[in-house]
Amino acid sequence: MTPSTAPSIPWQLTLLEAASMLRARALSSVELLDSVLTRAAATEPSVKAWVVIDSETARTVARACDQELARGETRGPLHGIPVGIKDIYDVEGLPTRCGSASRQHAPAASEDSAMVRALRESGAIILGKTVTQEFAAGVVSAPARNPWDTDRIPGGSSGGTAAAIAAGSALTGLGSDTGGSIRIPASVCGVVGFKPTFGALSLRGVYPLSWSLDTAGPLARTVGDATLMYRVLRDGNGGSMPAVKSAALRVGIPRPHFFDRLQPGVAIAVQRAIEAIASAGIEVVDSPWQEAGKARATSFIINRVETGSVHIAELAERWDGYGEELRLRIEAATLVPARAYIRAHQARRVILRSCARVFDDYSIDAMITPATPGTAALASDLNVPFEDGSREDVSLSYTRLCMPFNLTGQPALSIPCGVDERGLPVGLQIAGRPGEDEALLSIGRRIEDILGFGVQYPDIPSRIDDRIG
Amino acid sequence: MATENDRHNVMPDITSGESLISVQAGAYVIPPERLPQAIARYESMVAFIEELETLDIGTEAPAFVFDPSWEDR
């Protein structure tokens, strides 16, 4: 990874930097868009993060944004910012194909999903649709690749959005998180991913995966950027971004489950991050959550059964359009006894209370864990290898540390915290109290400042000189 | 106005003791040649089902409409 420097190229700007420069008219929307499009032209042959880039419409909107700014008008906090949309969200005029051949002939959506509408109304330029794992059910996100090593996967299922942000072909974008699908690709692509509290953001116009767990949310380059996106998605307002405060803070390390069976590079990077956090004056305490493994198991059962329920009728009609992995997942779901599904929903609040007790008993403001047990896996070998020679299926492995917070519905972030021995990004997961999304984002900004990791860009072989001006 | 996707946002019928999916859909039958794979995949999920069995849930009602709040715990 290359240390960050003062950005000299518009595509390297953070969302907050770009928005500020646009408002000050130090940068035009067209210049920003052209820079991002040029970067996309250079990186897409190897990264393949996008399903479609609607550059013509984007340019028309960018020109309108510039004209409005010249008149002193602004649509909102994202005025003139190009964003990527995971291809399970309806975008008016574009088909929602969900990464599935079964929807190859899907008609163009007749209206925007609620989250896309919120972005558009705040001035964002909808640049196009990003690659998703088929129907958001998995972590590979083919054909997208990881910008840090294009032999490796970007994680998923919001892998296209994460890869686009990491590569520089989007400043920010939308993902969705049912079993870690925002935090996982954020972790392995070295960007920030935020899963808000379950139910905080509208899913209207989003193709469901598991209705009891699905959560809309943003990916971005910094926690500040994710905060702005979250506010826009929640109520359309960016609000002010006050300086990070150094108030007393206490974070918990839930050792059982979350620190079991990690790749050494992940364990070392996360341990160093914890030490840096403690050295900066944040109190760090062990806060065992004994039910974390059961939270994962329960989340898994609900996820799989509801995925089957969503898709079984379509599978009967269009079985040849479904990929083998998803088809098998749906078929296996038909064999799960209804009793297990009901029991999982009975267990949900029991487990939620157990996590709440940990927060209370240890007086913690957040839990800190690795986001994924391993860094980006090879696309040619979809397993996570461990030091003892064992291997774990990448889908099971990547979701292991994220799923507990899908079950409890707590807000959770993944932020970059280091790299492994290959230079691949490692993500730190920070989980807060339900409904206290802003508080968690504030903690995330403070930890991001402490870690000083900054925004870093992969060295992707470029075919085109992407400097402008 | 509802979009095409909203039609999927429905609750399943959970009143039956049979396999949930086969009760709800009724249209898809696993082809015999695919059954061994499907069973093997299901068996990989059994550990999760068994782990869930070890949790004491008392008389807790199912939280089909889930509220993540900690207020009423």
Q: What is the mean pLDDT of residues A361-377?
A: 98
pLDDT score, position A461: 60
User: Number of A:B CB contacts under 8 A?
Assistant: 181
pTM of the model: 0.93
Single out the catalytic residue among A181, A187, A212, A414. Answer: A181
Given a cut of 80, is residue B17 above it in pLDDT?
no
pLDDT bin (cut points 50, 70, 90) of residue A238 is: confident
Tokens of A418: 């280091």
- Looking at the DSSP bridge assignments, the partners of residue A95 are A108
A211, A298, A317 member nearest B52 (Cβ): A298
- Three-state secondary-structure class, residue A270: helix
- Mean pLDDT rounded to a whole number for chain A: 94
pLDDT score, position B24: 46
Buried b (16+ CB within 10 A) or exposed e, A23-46: eeeebbbbbbbbbbbbbbbbbbeb
| ipTM (interface predicted TM) | 0.88
Question: Is A332 in contact with B1 (Cβ distance < 8 A)?
Answer: no
pLDDT score, position B55: 95
Active site residue A181: yes
β-strand A50-53 against A82-86: which pairing, if any?
A: unpaired
- Three-state secondary-structure class, residue A427: strand
pLDDT score, position A459: 84
CB atoms within 10 A of CB A196: 27
Percent of chain A whose predicted confidence (pLDDT) is above 90:
90
CA distance A467 to chain B (A): 41
Higher pLDDT, A316 or A376: A376
From CA A376, how far away is CA A371, in angstroms rounded? 12
Question: Is A310 in contact with B8 (Cβ distance < 8 A)?
Answer: yes
From CA B26, how far away is CA B30, in angstroms rounded? 11
From CA A28, how far away is CA A34, in angstroms rounded? 10
Longest dimension (CA), chain A: 64
Active site residue A157: yes
pLDDT score, position A374: 98
pLDDT bin (cut points 50, 70, 90) of residue B14 is: very low
Single out the catalytic residue among A28, A157, A169, A212. Answer: A157
State the best of A319, A331, A354, A393 to mutate against chain B, taking most chain B CBs within 10 Å. Answer: A331
DSSP string, A309-363: HHHHHHHHHHGGGS-HHHHHHHHHHTTSBHHHHHHHHHHHHHHHHHHHHHHHHTT
From CA B28, how far away is CA A317, in angstroms rounded? 9
Nearest residue of chain B to residue A106 (CA atoms) = B4
Single out the catalytic residue among A28, A29, A55, A86. Answer: A86
Given a cut of 50, is residue A189 above it in pLDDT?
yes
pLDDT score, position B26: 53
Residues of B with Cβ-Cβ distance to A295 under 8 angstroms? none
Higher pLDDT, A4 or B44: B44
pLDDT bin (cut points 50, 70, 90) of residue A420 is: very high
Residues of B with Cβ-Cβ distance to A410 under 8 angstroms? 68
Tens digits of per-residue pLDDT, B18-34? 444 444 445 688 998 99
Residue A461 sits at φ, ψ, to 5 deg, of: -55, 120
Tens digits of per-residue pLDDT, A118-175? 999 999 999 999 999 999 999 999 999 999 999 999 999 999 999 999 999 999 999 9
DSSP string, A323-337: -HHHHHHHHHHTTSB
CA distance A204 to chain B (A): 7
pLDDT bin (cut points 50, 70, 90) of residue A453 is: confident
